[in-house]
Structure 1
Amino acid sequence: MKKRLRKKLHLGEFQEFGFTLNIKFTEENTNESLDTFVESFLDEVIDPNALDFGGGGDRFDFAGFVVLAARGSVTEEHRALTIAWLEKRDEVTSFEVGELVDAWYP
């Protein structure tokens, strides 16, 4: 396969990776505290590390997928930063940060 086609299809050296994120909150969590959580997550984890996040949820469960904002792949460091940040959050009862997977072809 030609390089141009591999790039267009995100294959080979152009493959991009991301990871899933699943979060469970305390029962005391409110819609307002969820909004605050999401804003903090975006301001402290996603934006400073040039990441993108797609997902959503409610005051009990929150899930999504994290990728690099530009072409390329997230790294194990990005996963570790996310895990460390989530471990410090009081409103989070449990979370699961998935392994790096192909962002274009599940």
Structure 2
Amino acid sequence: MRKKKRLGEFREMICYVGLHFTNSLETQVGEGFIDRFIEEAIEENKLAFGGGGQAYKYEGSVTAMAYRGSVSEAQRSAVEQWLIKEPEVVEYYITPLFDAWYVDLDSVKENWVKKS
């Protein structure tokens, strides 16, 4: 029953991420940047990204690649470290992990961090 209700060890932990990157990138370069974000920050950490954006702002959810899996704190931290080290990222947020099935979305805060 806990598996069916996704409780305990069957929870699916995810996080939300958002990023603004420099508007000095041309359109093709910006698309390449997003491809690099997906490849290096998401897929290399065995994660999936669902979301999108326009111009220089992208937002979405980060989930485990595995069916019914969870994002670990180490994976979440790896994504955050990628955002911190990339010079093209001027502002970002990454939420704490939360249960994808039992969450009050009003409690999930997007605390944007401006990089200097």
Query: TM over 0.5, yes or no?
Result: yes
| 1:88 corresponding residue in structure 2 | 85
Equivalences for residues 26-37 of structure 1 within 5 A? 26-37=22-33
**Quick check: 1:74 aligned with 2:71?**
yes
Deviation of residue 90 (structure 1)?
Answer: 1.9
CA contact (8 A) 2:45 2:78 kept: no
Equivalences for residues 1-106 of structure 1 within 5 A? 5-70=1-66, 71-106=68-103
Mapped partners of 2:5, 2:26: distance in 1: 42
TM-score when scaled to structure 1?
Answer: 0.85
Mapped partners of 2:50, 2:40: distance in 1: 16
Higher mean displacement: 23-32 or 94-103: 23-32
CA deviations 1:9-50 (Å, max 9, x no partner) are: 312220110111011122323332221112111211222221
TM-score when scaled to structure 2?
Answer: 0.78
4+ long deviations beyond 2 Å: none
Q: Which has the higher contact order (CA 8 A, sep 6+)?
A: 1
Match of 1:27, SS state, is coil
- Mark the CA change 1:104 to 1:89 in structure 2 (over 3 Å): closer, same or farther: same
Query: What root-mean-square deviation, in Å, do the aligned CA atoms of Structure 1 and Structure 2 show?
Result: 1.5
Percent identity, aligned pairs only?
Answer: 39
Match of 1:19, SS state, is strand
- Mark the CA change 1:27 to 1:39 in structure 2 (over 3 Å): closer, same or farther: closer
Aligned length: 102
Q: What residue identity is the alignment partner of 2:12?
A: E
- Give the unaligned 5+ runs of structure 2: 104-116
